Amino acid sequence: MVPLGEIISEEYSLEYGKDVMEMHVCAVQAGERALIVDDLVATGGTLFAAIRLLGRFVSFNFHLERCQKMVLLLEFSL
């Protein structure tokens, strides 16, 4: 049994520094599917941190089905 609130974390690099992604250890169970969405891939740090987090689960085998970036830049005029 995993203690309530137990998390794992992964530090990753950004264009301008570092950040940490955290995930509850019971967030993904064996046999489940996971979807990773990164809205803007600049350095790839967030995407790779998510993949590394999922990869820490020994019983969690995953297959990268598709990697697609979504970029939405809006121009505002006042």
pLDDT tens-digit profile of 28-55?
A: 877 777 778 777 767 778 888 888 888 8
Ranking 9-23, 35-49, 50-64 by mean pLDDT, the lowest is: 50-64
pTM value > 0.85: no
Q: Closest by alpha carbon to 14, among 40, 36, 53?
A: 40
Number of domains making up the chain: 1
Other CB atoms within 10 Å distance of the CB of residue 67: 11
**17 φ/ψ angles, rounded to the nearest 5 degrees:** 160, -145
Domain with 11, as residue range(s), is 1-78
* CA-closest candidate to residue 27, choices 56, 63, 48: 56
| Contact yes or no for 24/7 (Cβ under 8 A) | yes
For the domain that residue 36 is a member of, what is the CATH number?
3.40.50.2020
